[in-house]
Structure 1
Amino acid sequence: MLKKPDGKHAHSYVPELADKFVKGEVDRREFLRTATLLGVSASAAYAFAGRATGQSLIPEAAAETPKKGGILRFAMEVQEITDPATYDWTQKSNVSRWMVEYLTRTKPDNVTVPYLAESWEASDDLKTWTFKLRKGVKWSNGDDFNADDVVYNFKRWLDPKIGSSNLSLFSGLTETVETTNDAGETVKQQRMREGAVEKVDSHTVRLHLSTPNLSIPENLYNYPTGIVHRKFDEMGGDLSKNPIGTGPYELAAFSVGEEAKLVRRTDPHGYWGDEPYLDGIHYIDTGSDRSAMMAAIASDQVDGIFEVDVTQLDVVERMPGVTIHSVNTARTGICRMQVDKKPFDDPRVREAVTVSLDHQKLLELGYRGRGVTAENHHVGPMHPEYAEIPWRKQDHEKAKQLLKEAGYPDGIDIQIDVGQTQGPWELATVQAMKEQLAPSGINLKINTMPAAQYWEIWTTTPFGLTSWTHRPLGVMVLNLAYRSGQAWNESNYANPEFDKALDEANGILDPNERRKKMEEVEAILQGDHVISQPFWRSQYVATRDYVKGFATHPTQYHQFQNVWLDK
């Protein structure tokens, strides 16, 4: 059942994984996720899990017959969509994902399935990944989608001049070289290794990694990995001005800060996949103030809103004809300290900050208890490789002693920058932190600023609260945010011991063994007191009751393929 048509297993570890699942040594979530990452089809993995447990895991058919037609109106910030490789907001990808598609797709249950890649295989050591691409896919300009497109995208992602965060996700395809910057200084830089990405034939691409990595298929659905046309740069390098794609919709209107209209493709080449039910999607920008979103859905100006702020849940719950969709996520606020800037270059100061805080109270005061407490290592119970390392109890006396040893016997003044980029909960959280830090002799000044201004300084401010989105694996965000020298490493953390342990965790197949290694990874990050991470946030989305087939995605990715309107 878990074999390919040629009778072979997708990967040599699959039989052992299946045996561990049957014996109860691996849970259903980890079995499904690992099996599909190793190339087992989702249908085969679900069917096997159903037979093993005696419960059908294949979704039942919809009770209602979907209707085709209609325009879905959704309130969401409409941001620039120039270059998918450089996206830093999920909202950007939600507009463009209907035009430029991905090689894989991670569903709301965190199981990754084929998309533009129809299948893949991994070598036993997880260093070689072979992707078979779909045939018969046409770009909206009539060109055939093929391996040249995929190779081109990898070259762009791993070109330091592009500035894509994908450099961190696919570091196994890169090498570090010395180069000279504009100031004439010698600096180290990552770039793609020669031969790292191979075109096997017109519809087969092979990746040659220097280190093993199980999460490659999941990385390919990270929001900056949308596949653009192989002549994207030649055609101007701006998707909003030249929106050529393989997706089911085309861009009919676009204005930053106002709207984005997508309608069914009208080119003669047609869409390769199953046609969505909706005739189109209309994103309406109501601004970053979530109250405006609430007003829009209450007055029936929109059919759904991107996010319900936790402070307004009570209001939305009382709205007639509105459904709230909730999901536990790995979305979080990270209060990170730059380890190379005073006073945070002294680990005793960082530890004094972290031990002064009560995470449970911060969750209650900052997010109304709608989430779970975190442990200062950016891996949580929603991640399959999570190892529990409880955070210490609040200890003001310990904090005072640490500050005295660091040369601050009379306390210390510090400032945190807050942009409220994801809602007023950010300010509420740091205000609660200020009160908890005071008994330790830490005077916290809160510098609030517009969201756009915060994103201009988020990688340079010595102390700031940054909202990070959900990712299905803990190692994904660790590779992005804490690996030495990466573009999104906002704390400037650089610990070779951490990097080495993370590399090892990336390549361990056995879920239980990987969890043991992750305990080491988490302990290193937690012990270096790089971040204060009070809690993980639950996510809330609202739609009108006539919106059918909607499922909220933990990463806020819009997957409206099965959405239809009953009105």
Structure 2
Amino acid sequence: MAKSELRDESGKRVHPYIPELCEQLRKGDCDRREFLRTATLLGVSSAAAYAMAGSILGEGPVKKAVAQETPKMGGTLRSAMRVQRMDDPATYDWTEMSNQTRAICEYLTVTGSDNVTRPYLAESWEASDDLKTWTFKLQQGITWSNGDAFNADDVIHNFSRWLDPEVGSSNIGLFGGMLEQTADGGQRMRDGAIERVDDHTVRLHLSEPQLAVPENLYNYPTVIVHRGFGVDYEADLARNPIGTGPYELAEFRVGEVCRLRKRGEYWGGEVFLDEIHYIDTGDDPSARVAALASGQVDHVYEVDISAIDLVERIPGAVLHEAVTAQTGVARMRVTEAPFDNLKVRQAVVACMDHQKVLEVAYRGRGKIAENHHVSPIHPEYFQLPGLTRDLEKAKALLAESGVSLPIRVKIDLGQAEAWHLGAMQEFRQQLEPAGIILDLNPMPGASYWDVWDKTPFGFTQWTHRPLGVMVLNLGYKSGVPWNESGYSNPEFDAALAEASATLDVVERRAKMEAVQKILQDDAVIAQPLWRSVFSATTDKVRGYEIHPTFYHQFHKVWLDT
């Protein structure tokens, strides 16, 4: 039997790479987490993937789950979180927006806190041997809240919107293999890039291999909206909250409250909470903790590093921590003076003492970063030689750059979190001996996000994503909407495309050496740290697990009242 015809016990086709992946796990060339992640992306069920790993690693049969408490029905979960706009999910640029939405509208896939991607609105998927063709079988029997049946037309409509430059979705950076260049230098979806096989099957035809398609479909702006969204009615979810999820929108006011109410029978099984309330307590992190302490809320979306001690002193409070690839970057717009000068950018990054910034700004709760936006927890991470602060190198680069000293530059940063300001205050001290004067311009969060992709120098927070190539495709590939630095390097684009398309775990990691080194050498970002993140609940909240991207998965959360 040919490799491409391998079948599992149920008769389902198994991707021909699975035997090689099993061998790599056995030899220690990939770890358990990467094995589970890759096997499930290639269409193996999570249960089967865990069983394979257990057998290979000699873990024996899966132990029976410890008896769990019986969930209680009813109650309202109140969460302290910013309540933001809720118009077009394809254009969301904050995780909080998606949390307001994800109990109403849903995704084709779901990535858990264990980094394993599982089916959701898609019942299953299958990848071709060359990873250019992806076939998604959709769940049947799902009804939209307006009574329409969920089907392939909904999926096609969403892809068409994501890849329409007029919509302005960041998702365009994730599905490059479905795009073609236009005569005016822009991009659009290729004819035939998505095929309607039948009512409940769609097939993607990519021009280049791509492994992470199922993971990309749980990126927070890839929520699936109804096929009439933006066609039969206004593209505004707050005004037209049609969804497949278990909750409906009961009340919504930006900056105040988002109230979700259970809407009856749900295709995905029983959910326990009657309502979910998001209550906006403002940007002050201490206000969120105060709301928890006073009993105003049961859950805090994020606990700032400065407020951890306060949470630990609240009777009945539970602190939740996740190790993540969340970060912040001091990014230079390479098209704007003085950062259009490579040697100036290289001098800036040479001045950073990453460990000192981590200790001062984030109490050491995380890891140092390396100016290429790929984290050690990303499975494809390649370890480059460590970075050290080199003041003499910075001075020499500035002398070679031809600029007059001292250089005075301003960095814009939003005031959403205190650690941003602390990091840049420390960096300012580190830059000064080289002749670079850094002025800090703290801005209200909303004002910063008006200029984040235009300002010559800005400090931008980036959320966790399960793959390094995923965030690089979103933020550093030429021409994508979230390329805030204006960076464009064909050599980098080609190396990134090659790494993104490589199935073999060991080979893909080796290819990342060039990707990371190019970005690091081009000195686009001074990136101080990777951070652990924290949320908090009262002890009556059960079944909750913090997600590294702060995605709320409340379907099985319940209250022990």
TM-score grouping bracket, smaller chain normalisation: over 0.9
The secondary structure found in structure 2 opposite 1:537 is strand
CA distance in 2, matches of 1:50, 1:528: 43
Match of 1:204 in 2: 201
The aligned runs of 1:322-471 (5 Å cut-off) are 322-408=317-403, 410-421=405-416, 423-471=417-465
The secondary structure found in structure 1 opposite 2:186 is strand
CA distance in 2, matches of 1:255, 1:445: 36
For 1:390-416, what per-residue CA distance to the aligned partner results, in whole angstroms no more than 9, with x for missing partners? 343111111111111112353311111
The question of whether the paired residues in 1 share the 8 Å contact of 2:319 and 2:537 is answered with yes
CA distance in 1, matches of 2:201, 2:325: 33
Match of 2:15 in 1: 11
Code of the residue aligned with 1:252 in structure 2: it is: A
The question of whether the paired residues in 2 share the 8 Å contact of 1:375 and 1:390 is answered with no
The aligned runs of 1:105-254 (5 Å cut-off) are 105-179=110-184, 188-233=185-230, 234-254=232-252
**In the superposition, relative to structure 1, how do residues 57 and 165 fare at CA in structure 2: closer, same or farther (>3 Å)?**
farther
Match of 1:23 in 2: 27
The secondary structure found in structure 1 opposite 2:297 is coil
CA distance in 2, matches of 1:398, 1:8: 58
CA distance in 2, matches of 1:367, 1:46: 35
1:520 aligns with 2:518: no
CA distance in 1, matches of 2:223, 2:380: 26
Identify which of 80, 97, 100 aligns with 2:102.
97
1:310 aligns with 2:314: no
Match of 1:256 in 2: 254
Match of 2:3 in 1: none
Structure 1: tracts of 5 or more residues without a match: 180-187
Match of 1:182 in 2: none
Match of 1:37 in 2: 41
1:282 aligns with 2:286: no
Code of the residue aligned with 2:120 in structure 1: it is: Y
CA distance in 2, matches of 1:8, 1:558: 32
Identify which of 507, 513, 521 aligns with 2:501.
507
The secondary structure found in structure 2 opposite 1:465 is strand
Give the TM-score normalised by structure 2.
0.97
Match of 1:185 in 2: none
Shift of residue 484, structure 1, vs aligned partner:
0.3
Shift of residue 6, structure 1, vs aligned partner:
4.8
CA distance in 2, matches of 1:530, 1:419: 19
Shift of residue 23, structure 1, vs aligned partner:
2.6
CA distance in 2, matches of 1:88, 1:341: 24
Which deviates the most, 170-179 or 337-346? 170-179
Shift of residue 59, structure 1, vs aligned partner:
8.2
The question of whether the paired residues in 2 share the 8 Å contact of 1:252 and 1:261 is answered with yes
For 1:327-367, what per-residue CA distance to the aligned partner results, in whole angstroms no more than 9, with x for missing partners? 11111001000111100011100010000110000000111
The question of whether the paired residues in 2 share the 8 Å contact of 1:366 and 1:429 is answered with yes
For 1:27-61, what per-residue CA distance to the aligned partner results, in whole angstroms no more than 9, with x for missing partners? 10110000000000001001111222233667834
CA distance in 1, matches of 2:345, 2:28: 41
The question of whether the paired residues in 2 share the 8 Å contact of 1:365 and 1:432 is answered with yes
Identify which of 75, 88, 91 aligns with 1:70.
75
Code of the residue aligned with 1:359 in structure 2: it is: H
**In the superposition, relative to structure 1, how do residues 326 and 509 fare at CA in structure 2: closer, same or farther (>3 Å)?**
same
Code of the residue aligned with 1:265 in structure 2: it is: R
CA distance in 1, matches of 2:102, 2:482: 22
The question of whether the paired residues in 1 share the 8 Å contact of 2:405 and 2:436 is answered with no
CA distance in 2, matches of 1:61, 1:204: 37
Code of the residue aligned with 1:451 in structure 2: it is: G
For 1:297-322, what per-residue CA distance to the aligned partner results, in whole angstroms no more than 9, with x for missing partners? 00011001011100111111111100
CA distance in 2, matches of 1:58, 1:147: 38
The question of whether the paired residues in 2 share the 8 Å contact of 1:49 and 1:57 is answered with no
CA distance in 1, matches of 2:64, 2:286: 35
CA distance in 1, matches of 2:150, 2:117: 21
Which deviates the most, 65-74 or 104-113? 65-74
Shift of residue 3, structure 1, vs aligned partner:
4.8
Shift of residue 289, structure 1, vs aligned partner:
1.3
1:265 aligns with 2:259: no
CA distance in 2, matches of 1:495, 1:387: 20
User: CA RMSD, aligned part only?
Assistant: 1.3
Code of the residue aligned with 1:360 in structure 2: it is: Q
CA distance in 1, matches of 2:278, 2:112: 22
The question of whether the paired residues in 2 share the 8 Å contact of 1:240 and 1:254 is answered with yes
Shift of residue 86, structure 1, vs aligned partner:
0.6
CA distance in 2, matches of 1:263, 1:5: 42
The question of whether the paired residues in 2 share the 8 Å contact of 1:100 and 1:247 is answered with yes
CA distance in 2, matches of 1:222, 1:463: 26
Code of the residue aligned with 1:349 in structure 2: it is: V
Identity over the aligned pairs, expressed in percent? 60
The question of whether the paired residues in 1 share the 8 Å contact of 2:22 and 2:56 is answered with no
The secondary structure found in structure 2 opposite 1:454 is helix
Shift of residue 25, structure 1, vs aligned partner:
2.2
Shift of residue 73, structure 1, vs aligned partner:
0.6
The secondary structure found in structure 2 opposite 1:178 is coil
The question of whether the paired residues in 2 share the 8 Å contact of 1:168 and 1:480 is answered with yes
Code of the residue aligned with 1:171 in structure 2: it is: G
For 1:158-179, what per-residue CA distance to the aligned partner results, in whole angstroms no more than 9, with x for missing partners? 0000000010111110111133
CA distance in 2, matches of 1:134, 1:347: 51
Shift of residue 256, structure 1, vs aligned partner:
0.7
Match of 1:539 in 2: 533
Structure 2: tracts of 5 or more residues without a match: 1-5
Code of the residue aligned with 2:32 in structure 1: it is: R
Code of the residue aligned with 2:539 in structure 1: it is: D
Match of 1:52 in 2: 56
Shift of residue 458, structure 1, vs aligned partner:
0.2
Shift of residue 202, structure 1, vs aligned partner:
0.5
Match of 1:183 in 2: none
The question of whether the paired residues in 2 share the 8 Å contact of 1:549 and 1:564 is answered with yes
Code of the residue aligned with 1:236 in structure 2: it is: E
**In the superposition, relative to structure 1, how do residues 249 and 201 fare at CA in structure 2: closer, same or farther (>3 Å)?**
same
Which deviates the most, 270-279 or 197-206? 270-279
Code of the residue aligned with 2:243 in structure 1: it is: G
